[in-house]
Amino acid sequence: MSAPVVVAVAPESPAERAGVVPGDRILAINDQIPRDVIQYQLLVDEPSLLLDVDRGGLRREVGVEKPAGSPLGVEVDSPLFDRVQTCDNHCEFCFIYQLPPGMRRSLYLKDDDYRLSFLYGNFTTLTRFTESDLERVVTERLSPLYVSIHATDPGKRSEMLRNRRGGTSLRWLRVLLDHGIEVHGQVVVCPGVNDGLWLEDTLAGVADRFSDLASLCVVPLGVSRHTSEERMRPHATGEAAFVVDTVEAWQQVFLGALGRRLVFAADEYYLLAGRGFPPAASYEGFPMHEDGIGMARAFEAAFLGEAAEQPSDRASGFFRAVDGAPATGFRAPRLDGEATPVRLGARPGAPVAVLTGELGAPVLEPLVATVADRDVRLLPVENRFFGGNVGVTGLLVGEDLTRVLAEEPEGHRYLLPDVCLSGGRFLDGLTPEDLPRPVEVVATDGAALREALA
């Protein structure tokens, strides 16, 4: 156990009025030691609090009085105060195994913790889930959760997770659903492993056993050049088309039986298959938007200013609703500080280049073409850092952007989507200030891009 450390105190909050300051270590709340920020919120919801605080090695008690349920006004340094439940699966397709050496240590951590699933929308396989975990999830209503399924056949799932418990751990999914916990599922499709008839079998298994899932996303395998797994390869065009056809056929089955589509294919499949994207309404509120489901249609609608249904601006998971939960990892703020555009060297009316990953280019191209009164072009960036079939904009790194921008003229405007930044840094540790041309960091949504181009 490690005590949560206060990293920020809201002005005029009950915590500030009581004398809590950044750097304080909260050892206990009303004589209880919280194990994570979820339990922390339950404790600080009380109207009368007695905080046992360590400040510079000296312990003191801080009393706080506030209305019941009102925020304490403290942000702590970590979502978990005990040990994170790490993943003991050895999936061939795990992208963490495909990272190059020398990156930040935090990027190599594999978690399989249901608490991070609830807080941040991380996917868990449930292979380390226990009766105690179930009791807590049901009692405290930790919902929604996000579960990696991959296959419903026990033998195939064990093979994919390289874990004998993979064949039995979906029993927890059934129990969670039986207790009314909202669960979103995911199937990562690996060509030659769980595609084809295995994908049909998985969707049939979902229909038979887990039809009360909130949603199910079917996403393609990402293969970097650093993988050492011989079976892992990108999808061929025909394989991607099969996945699209299979998912759309099962959508009709679920529509007839449940009145909703339930299962959705990632945008990347439509791009690989050369198919047009389904209409925005068919994504039923974009429940798996962050997993690449319906991103293109949502972006298009926002760019064109259409009144189509848009995904929530709240990231999956409830960390923003939990008093004190820090935004970490991919949920961290995109920029380090204020999001101020940088336009050094760009003259008024200068030509504009929109930086994007290779997969983003075909989505943006028809939208950029509608800006007829401006000199605007796309600047797709090949991801050589990860290589393989990695082409999403969110995995662009400073090294690849540097290579491309070094060949670009000065004085132009270069728009950089913020999705490739976390805390002001790219995954390779570089910052926008390290790039050879000044860039404008733009929020990764259609309305923000339209405004930047205007």
**One CATH from 3.40.109, 1.10.1060, 3.20.20, 1.10.3470 for 95-328:** 3.20.20
Alpha-carbon dihedral sign for residues 127, 131, 136, 138: positive
Whose tokens are 């109207």? That residue is: 47
Q: Check whether the bond before 144 is cis (ω within 30° of 0).
A: yes
Summary mean pLDDT of the chain: 90
CATH class entry, domain 6-76: mainly beta
Which residue, chain included where needed, has tokens 């204020």?
Answer: 338
Question: Nearest 5°: phi and psi at 64?
Answer: -130, 130
CA 296 to chain CA centroid, Å, is 16
At residue 156, the pLDDT reads: 97
Q: Tokens 């996945």 label which residue?
A: 243
Q: Which two tokens stand for residue 221?
A: 């395998």
Minimal CA–CA distance to 181: which of 135, 150, 223, 231? 135
Per the document, the length of the chain is: 454
Q: Where are the alpha helices (DSSP H) in 62-181?
A: 114-120, 131-140, 154-161, 170-178
Largest CA distance in the chain: 66
Instruction: Indicate left, alpha or beta for 63 from its phi (over 0: left) and psi (-120 to 50: alpha).
Output: beta
Tell me the C-alpha to C-alpha distance, in Å, between residue 192 and each of 109, 148, 159: 28, 19, 13
**Cα end-to-end distance, the chain, whole Å:** 51
Please answer whether residues 346 and 411 qualify as being in contact, where contact means their C-beta atoms are separated by less than 8 angstroms: yes
CB 416 within 8 A of CB 355: yes
CA distance 442 to 418: 6
| Domain positions in the chain | 6-76, 95-328, 333-453
Residue bearing tokens 């009025």 = 17
Q: What is the pLDDT of residue 345?
A: 53
Q: What's the pLDDT score for residue 349?
A: 78
Q: What's at 258, amino acid-wise? A: L
> What residues of the chain score a pLDDT lower than 70?
1, 307-325, 327-334, 336-348, 372
Closest CA to 118 of 136, 103, 106, 132: 136
For residue 118, give the amino acid letter. Answer: F
- The tokens describing 284, both together, are 């039923």
